[in-house]
Amino acid sequence: MIDKTLVPLLAIKGLAKRYPGVVALKGVDLTANAGEVHALVGANGAGKSTLMNLLAGAQAPSEGEICIEGQVVRFDGPASAQDRGIATVYQEFSLVPQLSVARSIFLGREPKSAFGFVDTRRLAERTRALLERFNLKLDPDAEVATLSVADQQLVEIGRALSFDARILILDEPTAVLSFAEQDNLFAVIRQLKSEGMLVLYVSHHLREVLAIADRVTVLRDGEKIATRDTAGLTVDDLVSLMLGRSGAYAKTTGHQPDSADGSLFDITYRTAGPESRLALRGGEIVGLAGLVGAGRTTFARALSGNALSSASVDIGHEGRTLHFSSPREAMGHGVVYITEDRKRDGIFAELDIVANATASALPSLGLGPLRNSRKEQAVSSNILQRLHLVASSLSAPIVKLSGGNQQKVLIGRALLTKPTILVCDEPTRGVDIGAKAEIHEILRGLARSGVAVLVVSSEIEELLALAHRIVVMHERRFVAEMPAHEAEESQILIAASSGSKSMEKNDEA
Amino acid sequence: MAIARRSARLDLESSGIWLLLAVAVGAAAATIPVFRDPANLANVLRQSSVLGILAIGQTFVIAAGMIDLSVGMIAGLVVVLACWMLGNDPSLTLAVIALMLTLGASIGLVNGLVVNRLKLHPLILTFGMLSILQGGIFTFTDRSVGRASPMLQAAANDDIWGVPLSTILLVAVLAVFHLVFSRTRFGYHLIATGGNAESARRAGIDVKRIRLACFAISGFCAALAGLLLAGRLGTGYPLAGTGLELDAIVAVVLGGTSLAGGRGSVIRSVGGVVALTVISNVLNLLEVSAFVQMFIKGLIVVGAILANQPRREQP
């Protein structure tokens, strides 16, 4: 008899995955126990996704083995991994929006009644039992489309749990969540942990990893660098393991914009409730913080001429008041927005890199109505080189690029229009840590050249490192403002969640 | 390595239509002597020109991510109106041509305006327009009216040095619109709009104007095709335009233009038209009955479109 407590729930031995021409994973060993939250971190291309796919049965390893409770298992597809108790919640959900929560959780395995109809009563019972057991606060009858992203994620987790999984893989689970939702998710994860599940937590967000995980495994270039207990570990430690060098974010230091120097943009934001004002200055990076739902993106869109009907922005500049009714018009006045969702409304997936980079600037590149492809090529190659784009060829479709490089192309597109105000909504979302630092450097360079940069980010750390000044939004209004070098993460959080203007008071309280 | 391999593989999406055309023409020329007869070949070309011009316009609309079902009826309306006006006074031909082209472009503009303003799906709207125009034609007349002027008839039926004038017209229209499609900012912007309209709007592209222009081009081409068709028929036959829109759409899709938008080529669309015409010509020469022809053509179309489907590489 083997003592079960001595056999790790999951043991990976010498796992390798080779693609033609690329070795994605080079013999990784890893063990993880039941009742553990085990994080996987690494820069993009480090092999996290490959490892995850191998465990989820989405791909087969070239070498090595996966053992569950000491038994070697082989998967011939995601379904067989699920049968072995490994469930995966991917960053991109695969829910059918029209179905109810209960139907979504048991999709394809609905309890059937005598004539093959779905037994709705048993379905409801089983759903309720599952939700209660794991303390998931969801209405079983609610339609998925009506749920918040956070609740949709809980539906995905519920679906994973309904397979009686013992190993749950979460891929970047907090990418779409606000702080409060993140707390809720962490509570769910702790609940799962206490039920004896192994949670594999794949994330870019090192701070979260340290907060939730018991142990963390760092991958770099397909190799396992280390597995550490998170107790006593710092973000800087992790970053230096991931990169082989230290320092998470280079700070914007030394350079403080001269307020008399840059031209001033006096922004009035009108939406439901009282109007709110904000000043932007050429040469300055302003970080806009706030919870998800605080209205940051709505404001950023309105500022750049893409307003929802309920919101509007006036920009006072050199005695004139500007109001834009389309992104095109805003661009004409030098106000450019870089989207938070590249795939949905940023890139043209099938078009090549040059076409993507020059999309906004074509009128200045052609001869009358005709295009001048040589000039387009030259101009985009010039700007993209300055942005350190890594691509095999500029005529490759943009979808072939990594997230960070796609983002650089979109930044290039914005720069080719010669902006005076650049609005970046989550500029480093889904971007690996190396590219992140590069994008920060690009934005700093832009500010130095006199552009007013507004950065919207949910990562307070990023804003603190990048911005000169932090503005906090709460319920569609600007509620607090502070120089970044004096700001504390806690101050920002308090202002963002309470809307209180006087943070000193809150701090004392 | 990877790049070399990709270019070596046959790209069915862009060359599939030429392959189909080559196989169809080669097989026909090898097995049916009459097919090789210059008179028959000229006939094939003549038959291709009406549909070819329609397909050119349709390519703009489809590549921009929309569809225009009203083109057949625009052509039909032009056939009836042009012949009716020219029945008494053939000397008005040039004025009527200008009027009809304006009419076609205007109907296209109306399509575009309604799509932009009311945010109606182009399929629904242009189907409504098809029905409205059809109703209009039959309210106006239920039998053939008027006569095409000698000038229109000549343009549609005469040859110069053995080449049909209508083919020369098609080539000229093709050359102009190919340039517009592939070499102008507008052409690139319409591809971007078809690929991802929201991205295009946020990139500062005037998506509404693109849509308007695409429909106007489509309406203009439909009217031009209608004038040619009037010349061929010689009289204002009220059913002349029936079903042409579907043939045009099939030809465009055969030419590799994505029905979802974001990809396309006017030259390949015309290739699609010629291929369809060759096939139907061969079936006629073989004296296959009209009903069996429909059956065979349907199979060929579905098969060719399946083969033409864009292959997505696995990520």
The CATH code of the domain that includes B254 is: 1.10.3470
Within a domain: B18: no
In terms of Cβ atoms closer than 10 Å to its own Cβ (0-12, 13-18, 19+), residue B242 is: middle
Inter-chain CB proximity A360 and B3 less than 8 Å:
no
Q: What is the pLDDT of residue A261?
A: 60
The rounded distance, in Å, linking the Cα atoms of A394 and A387 is 14
A39 with A201: CB under 8 angstroms? Answer: yes
- The answer for residues whose C-beta is within 8 angstroms of residue B89's C-beta and 6 or more apart is none
Q: How many angstroms away from the CA of A299 is the closest CA of chain B? A: 15
**Residue A369 DSSP symbol:** T
Identify which of A301-315, A385-399, B66-80 has the greatest average pLDDT.
B66-80
Check CB contact of A337 with chain B, cutoff 8 Å: yes
Which is more confidently placed, A153 or A206?
Answer: A153
A338 with A327: CB under 8 angstroms? Answer: no
Full residue range of the structural domain in which residue A87 is found? 10-243
Section A463-482 average pLDDT: 89
- The answer for residues whose C-beta is within 8 angstroms of residue A52's C-beta and 6 or more apart is A40, A88, A169, A171, A200, A202
Both A152 and A218 in a single domain? yes
Give percent of chain A above pLDDT 70: 92
Q: What is the pLDDT of residue A490?
A: 75
Two tokens, residue A383: 């700007």
The rounded distance, in Å, linking the Cα atoms of A128 and A140 is 7
The rounded distance, in Å, linking the Cα atoms of B84 and B236 is 7
Q: What is the pLDDT of residue B1?
A: 33
Q: Give the DSSP H/E element, type plus range, for residue A27.
A: strand A22-32
Within a domain: B15: no
Both A425 and A486 in a single domain? yes
Residue A456 has pLDDT above 90, yes or no: yes
Domain end point (choices A243, A275, A303): A243
The rounded distance, in Å, linking the Cα atoms of B227 and B237 is 12
The rounded distance, in Å, linking the Cα atoms of A136 and A134 is 6
At residue A63, the 3 state secondary structure works out as strand
A296 with A473: CB under 8 angstroms? Answer: yes
Both A124 and A37 in a single domain? yes
Inter-chain CB proximity B185 and A337 less than 8 Å:
no
Phi, psi of A193 (to 5 degrees): -60, -45
Tell me which amino acid residue B293 is: Q
**Residue A87 DSSP symbol:** E
Q: Give the DSSP H/E element, type plus range, for residue A86.
A: strand A86-89
Measured in residues, chain A has a length of 509
Q: What is the pLDDT of residue B112?
A: 96
Q: How confident is the model at residue A412 (pLDDT cuts 50, 70, 90)?
A: very high
Check CB contact of A374 with chain B, cutoff 8 Å: no
**Closest Cα in chain B to A399:** B315
Domain end point (choices A184, A211, A243): A243
Tell me which amino acid residue A365 is: L
Inter-chain CB proximity B202 and A362 less than 8 Å:
no
Within a domain: B4: no
Check CB contact of A362 with chain B, cutoff 8 Å: yes
Tell me which amino acid residue B117 is: R
Domain end point (choices A186, A214, A243): A243
Neighbours of B184 (CB within 10 A): 18
Bridging pattern class, strands A312-317 and A320-322? antiparallel
**Residue A30 DSSP symbol:** E
Both A282 and A196 in a single domain? no
Q: How far is CA A454 from CA A221, A284, A287, B108, in A?
A: 34, 8, 6, 42
Inter-chain CB proximity B196 and A363 less than 8 Å:
no
Closest CB to A327: pick one of B188, B204, B262.
Answer: B204
Both A197 and A282 in a single domain? no
B277 with B35: CB under 8 angstroms? Answer: no
- The answer for residues whose C-beta is within 8 angstroms of residue A21's C-beta and 6 or more apart is B1, B2
Within a domain: A253: no
H-state helical runs in A84-198: 101-105, 120-133, 149-161, 179-194
Closest CB to B204: pick one of A331, A351, A370.
Answer: A331
The rounded distance, in Å, linking the Cα atoms of A353 and A396 is 6
At residue A17, the 3 state secondary structure works out as strand
Check CB contact of A341 with chain B, cutoff 8 Å: no
Bridging pattern class, strands A10-19 and A63-68? antiparallel
One DSSP character per residue, A269-307 reads EE-SSS-EEEEEETT-EEEEEE-TTSSHHHHHHHHTT--
Inter-chain CB proximity A331 and B183 less than 8 Å:
no
The rounded distance, in Å, linking the Cα atoms of B106 and B129 is 12
Inter-chain CB proximity B195 and A369 less than 8 Å:
no
- CB-CB neighbors (< 8 A) of A355 in chain B: 188, 192
Check CB contact of A392 with chain B, cutoff 8 Å: yes
Both A104 and A60 in a single domain? yes
Both A85 and A35 in a single domain? yes
Section A237-255 average pLDDT: 64
- The answer for residues whose C-beta is within 8 angstroms of residue A48's C-beta and 6 or more apart is A40, A41, A42, A202, A219
Both A136 and A64 in a single domain? yes
For residue A314, the cross-strand partners are A268
Inter-chain CB proximity A360 and B204 less than 8 Å:
yes
Check CB contact of A45 with chain B, cutoff 8 Å: no
Best of B180, B202, B209, B217 to substitute, by most chain A Cβ atoms within 10 angstroms, is B202
**Closest Cα in chain B to A364:** B185
- CB-CB neighbors (< 8 A) of A335 in chain B: none
- CB-CB neighbors (< 8 A) of B3 in chain A: 392-393
Residue A455 has pLDDT above 90, yes or no: yes
Within a domain: A255: no
The rounded distance, in Å, linking the Cα atoms of A490 and A488 is 5
Within a domain: A249: no
The rounded distance, in Å, linking the Cα atoms of A281 and A273 is 26
Which is more confidently placed, A250 or A318?
Answer: A318
Tell me which amino acid residue A5 is: T
At residue B283, the 3 state secondary structure works out as helix
Q: What is the pLDDT of residue A365?
A: 83
Q: What is the pLDDT of residues A188-243, one digit of tens each?
A: 999 999 989 999 999 877 788 899 999 999 988 888 988 999 998 887 788 778 77
Mean of pLDDT over chain A: 84
The rounded distance, in Å, linking the Cα atoms of B55 and A99 is 41
**Residue A506 DSSP symbol:** H
Both A228 and A352 in a single domain? no
Q: What is the pLDDT of residue A435?
A: 83
Section A172-197 average pLDDT: 85
Closest CB to B262: pick one of A350, A362, A413.
Answer: A350
Q: What is the pLDDT of residue A193?
A: 92
Within a domain: A431: yes
Full residue range of the structural domain in which residue B179 is found? 34-307
- The answer for residues whose C-beta is within 8 angstroms of residue B301's C-beta and 6 or more apart is B250, B254, B276
Residue A5 has pLDDT above 80, yes or no: no
Check CB contact of A345 with chain B, cutoff 8 Å: yes
Q: What is the pLDDT of residue A251?
A: 62
A491 with A505: CB under 8 angstroms? Answer: no
Section A449-465 average pLDDT: 89
The rounded distance, in Å, linking the Cα atoms of A126 and A131 is 9
Both A101 and A179 in a single domain? yes
Bridging pattern class, strands A469-474 and A452-456? unpaired
Within a domain: B315: no
Inter-chain CB proximity A360 and B186 less than 8 Å:
no
Within a domain: B295: yes
Two tokens, residue A26: 């080079």
Tokens 């061929």 map to which residue? B232
**Residue B146 DSSP symbol:** S
Within a domain: A201: yes
Number of domains in chain A: 2
Bridging pattern class, strands B163-164 and A335-338? unpaired
Which is more confidently placed, B288 or A174?
Answer: B288
- CB-CB neighbors (< 8 A) of B203 in chain A: 327, 359-360, 413
Inter-chain CB proximity A328 and B204 less than 8 Å:
yes
- For residue A107, give the CATH number of its domain: 3.40.50.300
Write the ipTM.
0.73
pLDDT, one tens digit for every residue, chain B (315 residues): 333 334 334 455 677 788 889 998 999 899 899 998 988 999 899 989 999 999 999 999 999 999 999 999 999 999 999 999 998 888 899 999 999 999 999 999 999 999 999 988 999 999 999 999 999 999 999 889 989 999 999 999 998 888 899 999 999 999 999 999 988 889 989 999 998 888 898 888 899 999 999 999 999 999 999 999 999 999 999 999 998 999 999 999 888 888 888 888 999 999 999 999 999 899 989 888 988 988 887 887 788 667 666 554 433
Q: Helix %, strand %, coil % for chain A, to 5?
A: 35, 25, 40
First vs last C-alpha separation in chain B: 17
Neighbours of A57 (CB within 10 A): 22
Both A364 and A457 in a single domain? yes
Within a domain: A464: yes
Q: What is the pLDDT of residue A114?
A: 74
Section A354-382 average pLDDT: 87
Tell me which amino acid residue B294 is: M
Q: What is the pLDDT of residue A502?
A: 43
Identify which of A83-92, A269-278, A494-503, B245-254 has the greatest average pLDDT.
B245-254
Phi, psi of B160 (to 5 degrees): -130, 125
Of the listed ranges A17-26, A27-36, A275-284, B8-17, the least confidently predicted one is B8-17
Inter-chain CB proximity A371 and B205 less than 8 Å:
no
Both A284 and A221 in a single domain? no
Inter-chain CB proximity B199 and A346 less than 8 Å:
yes
- CB-CB neighbors (< 8 A) of A392 in chain B: 3
Select from A1, A3, A2, A30 the least CA-distant residue to A14: A30
Select from A161, A328, A20, A132 the least CA-distant residue to B193: A328
Check CB contact of A397 with chain B, cutoff 8 Å: no
Q: How many angstroms away from the CA of B66 is the closest CA of chain A? A: 17
H-state helical runs in chain B: 2-8, 12-31, 33-36, 38-63, 71-86, 93-118, 122-140, 150-157, 165-183, 185-195, 197-202, 207-233, 244-254, 266-285, 290-308
Within a domain: A248: no
**Closest Cα in chain B to A376:** B185
- CB-CB neighbors (< 8 A) of A417 in chain B: 204
Check CB contact of A359 with chain B, cutoff 8 Å: yes
Inter-chain CB proximity A327 and B202 less than 8 Å:
yes
**Closest Cα in chain B to A19:** B315
Number of domains in chain B: 1
